[in-house]
Amino acid sequence: MPVITQHGAKVLPSVEVDSYNLEIRDEEGFVGDRASRSAFTAIMDEWREPLRKLGADPLGDEATEEISKKKLDELLAEGDPEAGGLIHSAIEAFSKELDHVIRRFLKSASWRATEAIVVGGGFSDSRIGALAVGRTEILLKAGGKDIELELIRHHPDEAGLVGAAHLMPAWTLEGFDGLLAVDIGGTNIRAGVVETNLKKSKTLDKAKVWKSELWRHGDEKTKRDEAVDRLVDMLQDLIKIAGKDKLKLAPVIGVGCPGLIRDDGAIETGAQNLPGNWETKSFNLAESLRTAIPEIGKHDTAVVMHNDAVVQGLSALPFMSDYDRWAVLTIGTGLGNARFTTRRKGK
């Protein structure tokens, strides 16, 4: 089976991947950990602790990690001033940490001259996340860094699927209505059909998730092979649904997965949060999927894998064409990252 795009490729149809999964250490550990969703929770706890001792915590007795983004947004907009002030204080502290992380990334060779950063991940899908991103941009510019920060256009849950369409050369999608995409995370595995809408736009800016299925594997004690079997079932269900609705699928599956992806589709490092051992040389997810689903629409199946932050960032590609060098940060359990250089025609 010919490889249409190398797994974990540095050169993709519309961009070059200058860097991904960048890990910078300081005396406290990995720098990126200072700007994760868990880091925001820790900052909230730091602000709440002295208030608890005084019996004056406006958020009551509920543990910070149990308070949803929606509730925090509501408290920020409509809660009492003390609750709003507490949340704003946490946003300010988190923004300073994110500002620090970005400045450290910008010092690395692969991130120099970055003009804009797209911010995705679950944290960005909230008012507190949006305010933190906006405040961070102000801190960066006030400190002399002329860089744009933008929230990802698609919902973070869908961006990790939509971006898979940009892993493929255009010719693999022509004549088809959509493709299968997979977004694998430490808590969830999401599979979906991305409708490309190429008749409306060749740049894939009209691409959207047509149908998807979600499995929270983090809630279950699941082994690796059981997880793969479940993923295959999800994909086969989506193939049947697309067939019933006469939506013609391209014979490709795009996969976003944590960690460093080798060119043979194996995962080198960074998959420690997935169920079981995904990093052993004897396991290859791409081959497992092709073996289980050898054909799609009577055509041989091709599977293309890349890092999940890369794939989520690619969903923003049609909207970042004005920038030569841009990046993505995905704020979730950890901080995913990737840096791109836009490929111009004739270059």
pLDDT in tens, 127-148: 999 999 999 999 999 999 999 9
Q: pLDDT grade, residue 38 (50/70/90)? A: very high
Average per-residue pLDDT for the chain: 94
Percent of the chain with pLDDT over 70: 98
Are 180 and 238 contacting, i.e. CB atoms less than 8 angstroms apart? yes
The number of beta carbons lying within 10 Å of the beta carbon of residue 330 is: 29
- CA quadruple 7, 12, 15, 16: dihedral positive or negative? positive
Angle between helices 127-142 and 69-78 (to 10 degrees): 70
Summarize the confidence of residues 258-269 as an average pLDDT: 92
Q: pLDDT grade, residue 287 (50/70/90)? A: very high
Find the range with the poorest average confidence among 26-30, 97-101, 156-160, 309-313. Answer: 26-30
Question: For the whole model, what pTM was predicted?
Answer: 0.93
Q: pLDDT grade, residue 346 (50/70/90)? A: low
- The rounded Cα 218 to chain-centroid distance in angstroms is 17
**What per-residue confidence (pLDDT) applies to 2?**
44
Are 269 and 259 contacting, i.e. CB atoms less than 8 angstroms apart? yes
- The rounded Cα 284 to chain-centroid distance in angstroms is 21
Of 99, 143, 91, 94, give the one whose Cα is nearest residue 117.
99
Summarize the confidence of residues 231-257 as an average pLDDT: 97
Q: What gap in Å lies between CA 44 and CA 93, rounded to an integer? A: 9
